[in-house]
Amino acid sequence: MALSDSELVEQIHSENSRKAFDELISRYQLRVMRICHGFVLHNADAEDLTQDVFIEVFRSIDRFRGDSQFSTWLYRIAVNKSLNFLKKKKREKVFQSIEGFFFKGDKEESLQLSDEGQFAADRGIKTSENKKILKGAINSLPENQRTAFILAKYQDLSYKEIAEVMDLSISSVESLLFRAKGKLQNRLLSSIEKK
Amino acid sequence: MSCKLSNSNLLNYIDGDLDTANQQMVKEHLENCLECHEKLVQLKSMYGIIEIEKQALTPNPFLSSRIWEKVNQVNVPIIPLRRFTIATIAAAGLTIGIVIGSLFYSTSNVNGTTYSEQAWQQLADDYFPGDSFSPYENIPQNQ
């Protein structure tokens, strides 16, 4: 019979059990990856973030006292890591644009290289126009609406589970999702009409 | 139901989030309005990408070993680097402080004369006592 999450966590606490942690990784890897992918919209980045999430879980598992479910705690870490990643990326873009302003020649070169890298990474993946529009629309949502939407759509969490992860009431989650879908729909419909 | 009202509920309709009565009303409108139906089809194909992407994600069999590799690495780089940076900044600050302090001390004056001028004065008084004497005066001219 499979052990429950809390039993596995207990084994990690008491015995530092690698086997128990491996079981948690295999149980939650895909779910964490889906959340991260919902934010970063890039497979390789989502995988790297998933790795970081589990490393963080292992390092801070002593602080998990079982007040909430393990999955809630894990999803919260995944959301925080993803949001921090996006903030870091945004900062890097700002620095790159400042750098580009002062070192125009260098920037052209680095852009050329990064385009090549991007091409190599995305080789074989057909990026449709619809995909771009959808991603743009999701990215344009405010942070809390986006988080609620991603947990609902990419992770299929219930309102109650989303409320626990985001530390909000269920009615707040309902309202966030309603507004998120409204904004998303407007963005998508306006791009359909432009076509 | 008007087109505007129907359009404002399309995503909730696709997700089945509307209450039964509204779900039915939107459904009836879409069956009778070709334009709104066309929008629904396009919206569905865009929105459906989320499901496609979700299904395309697969577990990485090497993730566990990658995680253990990182976990077993000693946390070397971050903290010593920060400590080193802090120590460097502190040393630089101290050096700058000393330089500025010594400059300030050498130019601070008592009775309008600088420290170095006072030192010369004292030296001159020791070797050539006299009120009006200056070591720079009465120097024999080279013939």
Architecture of the domain defined by A127-195: Orthogonal Bundle (1.10)
In a domain, B47, yes or no: yes
In a domain, B35, yes or no: yes
Query: By the CB < 8 Å criterion, does B131 face chain A?
Result: no
Considering the domain architecture, whether residues B83 and B52 belong to the same structural domain is answered as no
Chain A residues lying within 8 Å of B73, measured CB to CB: none
Of the residues B6, B35, B67, B78, the best mutation for testing chain A's interface (the one with the most A CB atoms within 10 Å of its CB) is B67
Number of structural domains, chain B? 2
**Residues A53 and A36: beta-carbon distance below 8 Å:** yes
Domain of B30 in residue numbering reads as 3-56
- CA quadruple A10, A15, A17, A21: dihedral sign: positive
Tell me the per-residue pLDDT of A127-147, one tens digit each, with 9 for 90 and over: 567 888 888 899 899 999 999
| Angle (CA) A128 A129 A130, round 5° | 90
Highest-pLDDT range among A86-100, A162-176, B69-83, B126-140: A162-176
Helix axes A170-194, A143-153, angle to 10 degrees: 90
For the cut 50, the answer to whether the pLDDT of residue A11 exceeds it is yes
Considering the domain architecture, whether residues B51 and B83 belong to the same structural domain is answered as no
Q: In whole angstroms, how far apart are CA B9 and each of A77, A86, A143, A146, A147?
A: 33, 30, 22, 19, 21
In a domain, B92, yes or no: yes
Interface ipTM > 0.85:
no
In a domain, B12, yes or no: yes
By C-alpha distance, the chain B residue nearest A60 is B71
Domain boundaries, chain A: 127-195
C-alpha distance from A179 to closest chain B C-alpha (Å): 11
* pTM as predicted: 0.68
In a domain, B107, yes or no: yes
Highest-pLDDT range among A11-15, A60-64, A102-106, A152-156: A152-156
In angstroms, the CA B28 to CA B6 distance is 10
Among the partner residues B15, B42, B58, nearest to A192 by beta-carbon distance? B42
